[in-house]
A and B are shown apart, each in its own frame.
Chain A
Amino acid sequence: MTTQSTIPTPRSPYARRKTTRGNYELYSWIFMRASGVVLLVLIFGHLWINLMVGDGVHAIDFGFVAGKWASPFWQIWDLLMLWLAMIHGTNGVRTIVNDYAQRDTTRLVLKGLLYLAFTIVVVLGTLVIFTFNPCPPDAPANLLPSICSTI
């Protein structure tokens, strides 16, 4: 019986091979589901206000957008929508590129362009939401939202 001590105990837990990659893909998978549910609410709300209420798409002009972004509620709504949709969409396209682009160079170039587009759109969109003036001083008054006349 003494020889058995050299054999590993059968009840030792199974050790999954340790990877150096971390849990990136797991978090990306969870993010797609969590952000998707939030985006459903944000985008359906966005479509309802912009296309269903009042004159719908015909009512959209500078005054309409400025009137919305004069309120912090819509600023935060749109900022959240911008970031979540861009991360969700970029991650989705990243998955598709990984699936179909077989050559290393093709994959690298496509994902480089993707991340470049992500950065430009997110930075530009965020700056516009935060530096936007709903009542630009040199603009004709008839193009501005009604709130501008009371200031």
Chain B
Amino acid sequence: MPTPAGTLYRGREGMWSWVAHRVTGVLIFFFLLVHVLDTALVRVSPEAYNAVIGTYQTPIMGLGEAGLVAAIVFHAFNGIRIVLVDFWAKGPKYHKAMLWVVVGLFVVTMAGFLPRHLGNVFGGGH
């Protein structure tokens, strides 16, 4: 395997999963700040909460929400992988294989979530 020049990082599964974990983590954190603030409107009045949550139920926000869930699902499964790398004796040996398990579980979970969610978002309903 050729070593990339000029960087301490080696690329490949280990580094890219680490980068993806950081990026998804930051995204989720900023969503969380907004999410607590909008939910706090239930304390103001039912009308105020319904008005704001209504703007969250548009197709564009629905797509954003699908992205948010994708970030959460990856962060969750890769987090379990990190715990296994740290605490399971064979974790470091299988860390690459475990990333592909994470990717597989991610695809299966999103395949279950997306049709249901996008059906709710674009299927009209209300």
Q: Please tell me the size bucket of the interface on A.
A: 35 or more
Query: Do residues B116 and A52 form an inter-chain contact, with CB atoms below 8 A?
Result: yes
Does B57 contact A58, Cβ atoms closer than 8 Å? yes
Determine if A51 and B40 form an interchain contact, defined as CB atoms under 8 angstroms apart.
no
Who on chain B is nearest to A134 by CB? B42
CB atoms of A33 and B46 under 8 A apart: no
Task: With A61-B49, A117-B33 given, name 5 new contacts (CB 8 A).
Answer: A33-B79, A36-B76, A52-B113, A57-B117, A139-B46
Question: Would A33 and B32 be within 8 Å (CB), given that A57-B117, A139-B46 are in contact?
Answer: no
Which residue from chain B places its CB closest to the CB of A53 in the assembled complex?
A: B116
Residues of A within 8 A of B29 (CB): 89-90, 92-93
**How many Å lie between the Cα of A133 and that of B91 in the bound state?**
48
Q: How far is the CA of A44 from the CA of B82 in the complex (A)?
A: 18
Q: Chain B residue with minimal CB distance to A125?
A: B36
Complex Cα spacing A85 to B42, Å: 20
A58 to B29, CA, bound (A): 24
Q: Determine, out of B6-14, B92-100, B118-126, the stretch whose residues face the partner at the interface.
A: B118-126
In whole angstroms, how far apart are the Cα atoms of A125 and B25 in the complex?
20
Could you tell me the distance between the alpha carbons of A117 and B29 in the complex, rounded to whole angstroms?
11
Q: Is the interface of A mostly helix, strand, loop or mixed?
A: helix
Q: Is the CB of A124 within 8 A of B126?
A: no
Interface size range of chain B in the complex: 35 or more
How many residue pairs bridge A and B at CB < 8 Å?
116
Find out whether the CB atom of A124 lies under 8 angstroms from the CB atom of B36: yes
Which of B43, B120, B121 makes the CB contact (< 8 A) with A131? B43
Q: Taking the complex as formed, is A62 at the interface, i.e. its CB lies under 8 A from any CB of chain B?
A: yes
Q: Please name all residues of chain B whose beta carbon is closer than 8 Å to the beta carbon of A58 when the two chains form the complex.
A: 57, 120-121, 125-126
As a 0/1 sequence over residues 24 to 61 of chain A, the CB contacts with chain B under 8 angstroms (1 = contact) are 00000000010011011001100100011001111011
Option from B37, B43, B57 in Cβ contact (under 8 Å) with A57: B57
Question: Bound complex: CA of A89 vs CA of B71, how far in Å?
Answer: 14
B121 nearest CB neighbor, chain A only: A57
Asked if B28 and A89 sit within 8 Å, CB to CB, the answer is yes
**Which of B46, B80, B120 is in CB contact (< 8 Å) with A62?**
B46
